[in-house]
Structure 1
């Protein structure tokens, strides 16, 4: 949620920045009008309550049943009715204001390239050499099916499209990947957490998934719980409605979890393979930071994700997302994209975002400064990495002419010394 003081004090700036994210200036005008009405009604109610309290004290000094006493009692009843009417009006105005406020996206940072979509994203840096093959590289789904380690057909039989069985060395490789990632993040200073995989609506609201993106998730209607689309949701809300100490910041946490997404609107996109699934594993990084440090923490988090790919020997690049491509809750986002030989292009494998105080305001996560004052902290989140996409990248980049797949050196210890996956 946006800082209302910024919207009030810098309306032209807010309109200009949010227009690059598709928000019409009229929405900000309506927000400001409702905000002014809401504050005016609150002030009127408070003024009447003050007068009522004074009158209540005056009544105590009057003889009960006297004409003056009765006149004061009638005035108190009038105050009560007027206050009741103002509060009802204020509640209605506040509801309309809140409806707009919780649907406004975060203000994009001034450093972002301006553009409506991914076409305006800008490459920041590259790492690694793109592999060359003396044969035509196969797609990861063909590699996995030929080796018998990925089974999409049987998954479709029991669950439908966009599901997969990892079998044998496929399951072992996926487990090796996320254990390797968790160990790396522990070395980078993150505390590992196993979070709930079902969360309530308030938790989804805290990180910005609700109410705008309800169609993107799976909800257990009878229980009022939602399967998490990412561990960002339970990790960020770990400190919901709490006040942390400044001396404890920054705080780094990480988790491996299954993620569940309906992939609404993705019909026809990545219909084969592991890139766009309804269920997948992901290792998530989340940070809680002082406001003045959060942009530096974003750079560090992005580097943390890159270090995983570097250890795995996977070529990748980092792009900064344009204003129109940046996620709802994010102030600034870097995507890390890994090279996929069969597609002959980079594909997203990590997204690292600084949300500033946007999520903290929704989830009421604050910190107490050394001087005793309390303010909202900044939250950050990033994939470290999407496990299924990492498995896909390994299959494609480490495939051999005979159909086998080499295991990256960093994963060999996690595979019990196994160095290659080949057909039985």
Structure 2
């Protein structure tokens, strides 16, 4: 959530951010009004309590009619204090509820607009010209069947649409991707983490996934747990309600976890294969930094993602998402999109977000400086490897006419040294 002091001092900036997101601008004025009621009711409560305390000192020294009058006033004050306390709590609850609905402030450099209004930062690598090579590329599902690597029919039989099995070399390819990604992250100074896939509501709400994104989250009502859609959630919750020593920052973690997404609203999109599925594994980078270091850390996370995709020998581009496509917690977001030959377009493989202090304020994660000052930290996240999408891009971009697939050097140590994945069926 944002700083209420900033809202009071510069409400027009918050209104502009809401407008850029395509969200309700009236929420700003409703929150300002609720905040004023909260402060006024709090002041009223404090005044009544102060009078009540003073009265409590006078009553033992009074006698006769004076004491009777003081006791009567004490009774009136007790009722008034109780009412003021309830009013203060109600106003605070309303202000908090409205504050949690407000998205992060959009970064001034973010393009304004919706999903199609992104800005291309750079393009790296050149898509293959399969026509010049004399063959029509197969899609990843056909290649997966030839390699004995992907089985969506049995996935659907057991679990329904958008589920799959990775079999044989497909399973080995996932493990190779995960191990190579974790090795890169570890070399860059990240601490590897295996994180919970089930979290409490506060962790999910604190990271901003129970607002506009709630429809895409699986909720286990009986136990009141949420299945995570990314290890960003447990990694953000790892230090909630803690004060971190500024000398320890930055703290960087690389989390590996299964991820679960309902894919609500994606009916009819990417129904073939494993590009858009309900369950997948992912290696996620997460950083805690001082707020003044957040923008530089964002560029570092992007650089690590670019390094990873380059090591996979994939043609890709970097885009900056527009304000209406950021999600509640991000102030600025970059995506790396790999070229998918059979789709003839670039598709998202990794994403990195600067969440500034939005998540840390909600989760009560702060830092203490050398002067003893305590303030919120900034949090950032970046996908290193969303496994199923990486497999899609690898198979399609590195295929050969006979259905075999070239293995990038970075993965070979984790695949027994093999340089080629070869068909098991014709």
Counterpart CA distance in 2 for 1:311 and 1:60 is 81
1:128 — aligned with what? 125
| Count of equivalent residues | 421
**Shift in Å, 1:194:** 0.9
Q: Could you list the per-position Cα deviations for residues 188-233 of structure 1 after superposition, in whole angstroms to 9, with x for gaps in the alignment?
A: 1100111111111011011011244332111222111111110000
RMSD: 1.2
1:381 — aligned with what? 381
2:83 — aligned with what? 85
**Shift in Å, 1:71:** 1.9
**Shift in Å, 1:43:** 0.6
Pairing partner for 1:103 from 97, 101, 118: 101
Counterpart CA distance in 2 for 1:178 and 1:409 is 15
Name the SS of the counterpart of 1:396 in structure 2: helix
Counterpart CA distance in 2 for 1:223 and 1:30 is 34
**Shift in Å, 1:146:** 2.5
Q: Is the 8 A contact 2:194 2:256 kept in 1?
A: yes
Counterpart CA distance in 1 for 2:282 and 2:246 is 30
2:115 — aligned with what? 118
Map residues 1-400 of structure 1 onto 2, 5 A cutoff. 1-63=1-63, 66-115=64-113, 117-133=114-130, 134=133, 135-400=135-400
**Shift in Å, 1:132:** 2.3
**Shift in Å, 1:87:** 2.0
Q: Is the 8 A contact 2:147 2:169 kept in 1?
A: no
Counterpart CA distance in 2 for 1:57 and 1:126 is 75
Q: Give TM-score scaled by structure 2 length.
A: 0.97
Q: Is the 8 A contact 2:191 2:252 kept in 1?
A: yes
1:410 — aligned with what? 410
Name the SS of the counterpart of 1:20 in structure 2: helix
Name the SS of the counterpart of 1:120 in structure 2: coil
Counterpart CA distance in 1 for 2:415 and 2:297 is 32
Counterpart CA distance in 2 for 1:210 and 1:76 is 45
Counterpart CA distance in 2 for 1:349 and 1:103 is 29
Name the SS of the counterpart of 1:239 in structure 2: coil
Q: Is the 8 A contact 2:147 2:423 kept in 1?
A: yes
Counterpart CA distance in 2 for 1:162 and 1:17 is 35
Q: Could you list the per-position Cα deviations for residues 358-414 of structure 1 after superposition, in whole angstroms to 9, with x for gaps in the alignment?
A: 000110000001110100010001100211111111000110000111111111110
Structure 1 unmatched ranges of 5 or more = none
Name the SS of the counterpart of 2:238 in structure 1: helix
Structure 2 unmatched ranges of 5 or more = none
